[in-house]
A and B are shown apart, each in its own frame.
Chain A
């Protein structure tokens, strides 16, 4: 038996509120499956499980806030013996609050055989038809919020269906639940203040001619429908990821007074959220993705982040962050490192500038790339080489 615990989704997270179970007792899960949604200061995070097996029991009720490390569920890993009939206790969906007066048992049983009292146990439970109970369970509907219209006031399939339609209807209302911008602002404040307090930043700037990228993209995108076109952002991210792999001093975490280089490049992408939020979930193994894959993952990530559906691994493990305010019109930005990371790369907007190419002045598309580095880990010299590598990679877009 293995316990699935409330994960830590960042150094500043102490507790999380469980807002959704995606599994129920008896379900088989495999490593990487999303099993729950936890509300944190960063918004609602989809939590992945890291072990394969069968869910034995859910231990925490919905809408309960528990500290990091609290067991959320018990998992029977492959090969473990199956216990007896106790295997699937009812999930801890809160039963409807018992009313003060026990419901009349008479209405439960139809006239002919004289009604037999079922005692206090029956009285304390909300009357829910088996199929309604099943439907509610499958869709994580809290039965205490459903009004019954069936025989004797029982909650029926149709009642739960109605509730489902209600739940599905207003995405706006739901978003408010998932994304608490106030809490997110508090989290950003804590992380950024800590960064500026603890991390001795140094800043470098490098201007790069991205005309080759633009030409290559024009050619590449010509035959493609708009929704599968590549954007220059994908090239920038890929170049930064490749450079991070070659310069490990910028890819990893600074913890307990020492630097731990990361084995993989999980590139955090800063995504602005309407209303004043910001998150930087990871594109996993960004250095190994093809540009098309990267592009579609980016689209997916942006969409999910803005609707408040980020996965736990995406929020907890970026090894370096890339921020781009290019489309907002600024030419350069100097980021603040997100601890415990050690670097953040900034891309400004692409501008047309007079540029010397082969001894003559011509018009070129130029972008300003910046690096904020952690001086405890790297020095300006290494930072310069790292930025230059990104610039060099962008000269040969077909090799990205």
Chain B
């Protein structure tokens, strides 16, 4: 399908879901999803409420997200944080092979709309999926690397950069715990707070713009729920507040990168 049919495609998908089917609508990228935002926000997310529970929309919407491929300002958005703002839908961000495959099945079982955001840079990663890889849960965060000094909280494309930063930090005797959120709505507060209670410090890595970001939401929740466990201000590594530039070096500088993540962790530890 071409991009001009994003809106009708979603209308068809919603109709099919309400009619008893389990459709998967693939919008290509989040950049084009804005044309379908009305259908996602005003139809898919609200029908169950508006119909007094008579109708649901068991729809799965897949789309790519993120910058890094020199596609310039209009095609490099990371708007999953926006969607995570909306009650009535679930928002997933698989970062591993197992999640990319396993979440889709679980999402299809869900009685309500599930949006799956796949970071464009992860499409190039290769890996082998176990023959018996099956469905996975879609409401828990995962600790991808245990550590005791600081919690690095991230998701999607930033997970691999964060893990790389954690490896670099280990060389400086800093044991970072890396949390892969996996689900952006709902957020798994329990896993986040348990980690922060242990490490007492947190840096959130989020490819969205800083203002009003998912990182802002997570930081607030940590302050609300784990304030007395904190040993340092919460750090954030987000995308610079600019339209994503086309030149490779500027694009690199605009979005979270390994050195920035490591530096933020050291700042939180007072070792900057």
Contact = CB atoms under 8 A, between A and B. Distances in A.
Interface of A: 108-110, 112, 129-132, 134, 149-152, 154, 156-158
A106 to B, nearest CB: 13
A158 B232 CA distance: 12
Given A110-B233, A110-B235, A154 B270 contact: yes
A131 B230 contact: yes
B97 interface: no
Contacts of A152: 270
Contact of B229 (A108, A110, A112, A131): A131
Nearest to A148: B270
Interface in B204-253: 210, 227-233, 235
Given A112-B210, A150-B231, A151-B232, 18 more contacts: A108-B233, A109-B233, A110-B233, A110-B235, A110-B267, A129-B230, A129-B232, A130-B227, A130-B229, A130-B231, A131-B200, A131-B231, A132-B231, A149-B270, A150-B232, A152-B270, A156-B231, A156-B232
A221 B272 CA distance: 66
Which 3 interchain pairs have the tightest Cβ spacing?
A150-B270, A129-B231, A151-B270
B268 interface: yes
Interface residues of B, number: 15
Given A112-B210, A131-B200, A157-B200, A151 B233 contact: yes
A110 B264 CA distance: 10
A130 B210 contact: no
Contacts of A130: 227-231
B88 to A, nearest CB: 32
B267 A151 contact: yes
A157 B227 CA distance: 13
Contacts of B229: 130-131
A221 B229 CA distance: 52
B223 to A, nearest CB: 9
Nearest to B240: A112
25 contacts: A108-B233, A110-B235, A110-B267, A129-B232, A130-B227, A130-B228, A130-B229, A130-B231, A131-B200, A131-B228, A131-B229, A131-B230, A131-B231, A132-B231, A150-B231, A150-B270, A151-B233, A151-B267, A151-B269, A151-B270, A151-B272, A154-B270, A156-B231, A156-B232, A156-B270
A191 to B, nearest CB: 47
A157 B268 CA distance: 13
A152 B235 CA distance: 14
Quick one: which of B229, B233, B268 has the most chain A CB within 10 A? B233
A110 B233 CA distance: 9
Contacts of B200: 129, 131, 157
A104 to B, nearest CB: 15
Nearest to A151: B270
Contacts of B231: 129-132, 150, 156-158
Nearest to A137: B228
Contacts of B227: 130
B150 to A, nearest CB: 12
Quick one: which of B210, B231, B269 has the most chain A CB within 10 A? B231
A239 B150 CA distance: 63
Nearest to B196: A131
Nearest to B233: A151
Interface string B130-171: 000000000000000000000000000000000000000000
B232 A154 contact: yes
Contacts of A112: 210
A132 B233 CA distance: 13
Contacts of A149: 270
A315 B200 CA distance: 44
Nearest to B200: A131
Nearest to A152: B270
A130 B226 CA distance: 10
Contacts of B267: 110, 151
B257 to A, nearest CB: 15
Contacts of B228: 130-131, 134
Nearest to B235: A110
A49 to B, nearest CB: 26
Contacts of A132: 231
Contacts of A157: 200, 231
Interface string B180-206: 000000000000000000001000000
A157 to B, nearest CB: 5
A129 B230 CA distance: 6
A215 B269 CA distance: 68
A310 B210 CA distance: 58
Interface in B3-22: none
A84 to B, nearest CB: 20
Quick one: which of A110, A151, A157 has the most chain B CB within 10 A? A151
B152 to A, nearest CB: 16
Nearest to B238: A112
Nearest to B272: A151
A130 B235 CA distance: 15
A26 to B, nearest CB: 13
Contacts of B269: 151
A149 B232 CA distance: 11
A151 B230 contact: no
A132 B230 CA distance: 8
B222 to A, nearest CB: 11
A134 B200 CA distance: 12
A150 B230 CA distance: 12
Nearest to B227: A130
A156 B269 CA distance: 9
